[in-house]
Amino acid sequence: MLTIAVSKGRIYEEALPLLEEAGIRPVDDPKTSRKLILQTTRDDVQLVIIRATDVPTFVEYGAADMGIAGKDVLLEHGAESLYEPLDLNIATCRLMTAAHKDAPDITRRVRVATKYVKTAKKYFAELGIQADIIKLYGSMELAPLVGLADCIVDLVDTGNTLKANGLEPRDLIMNISSRLVVNKAAMKMKHHAIQSLIDQFEKTLAKR
């Protein structure tokens, strides 16, 4: 049995066509079902539905053989212990800095609100800027408006939320997409089954 960890929402919705191409369709609809372990139309594959930030942890510790997670989540997790065979090119967006439209450019020291603590620290350190990181779990756009931070580091899709709150995207840190990750021990013990799925995903992606 192969266990694939995936989160609800955009990643799952965009991963579903890839899974279906491999003959993997959940028997229960995760949008309506309260089950966290979903059986599929393949007897040898089940899905576990978890928080996006927990996907790499489940895979790292072997609770899932494989998972689908955003690169932003993997960078924060520190996923060196995972095998990352494929960029699925789904759930794409940009990890950027953003600030009030009238704020000056950052040069020496900055207060940064973000949930991407590791990534933000590394980014500003490489620029030679001293960054005081303020960890938030949501409503990042409020931080510059109420004086909590000078700028934010967050995912940007359309930028409409930033604009509506008087902010503007500044610098691109990296483009983000979702990746297939595999537990290294599972890759050895279940190599044929896992490699077959990877090959099927690759073929589907090549057609796009």
Q: Which domain holds residue 165?
A: 93-173
**Number of domains present in the structure of the chain:** 2
pLDDT at 195: 96
User: Angle formed by the axes of helices 10-21 and 191-206, to 10°?
Assistant: 100
**112 and 134 both lie in a single domain:** yes
**14 and 73 both lie in a single domain:** yes
**61 and 97 both lie in a single domain:** no
pTM for this predicted structure: 0.89
- pLDDT interval class at 102 (50, 70, 90): confident
**65 and 13 both lie in a single domain:** yes
**77 and 27 both lie in a single domain:** yes
**Segment 125-176, tens digit of pLDDT:** 999 999 999 999 988 999 999 999 999 999 999 889 999 999 999 999 999 9
Spatial separation of the C-alpha atoms in residues 100 and 85, rounded to whole Å:
39
Residue 151 is part of a domain; what is its CATH number? 3.40.190.10
**7 and 101 both lie in a single domain:** no
**How would you classify the pairing of strands 66-70 and 2-6?**
parallel
**Segment 41-97, tens digit of pLDDT:** 999 999 999 999 999 999 999 999 999 999 999 999 987 789 999 999 999 999 999
**105 and 136 both lie in a single domain:** yes
- pLDDT interval class at 24 (50, 70, 90): very high
**101 and 113 both lie in a single domain:** yes
**101 and 164 both lie in a single domain:** yes
Residue 107 pLDDT > 80: no
Spatial separation of the C-alpha atoms in residues 173 and 154, rounded to whole Å:
10
**62 and 165 both lie in a single domain:** no
Could you tell me which of 88, 86, 37 has the C-alpha nearest to residue 58?
Answer: 37
- pLDDT interval class at 190 (50, 70, 90): very high
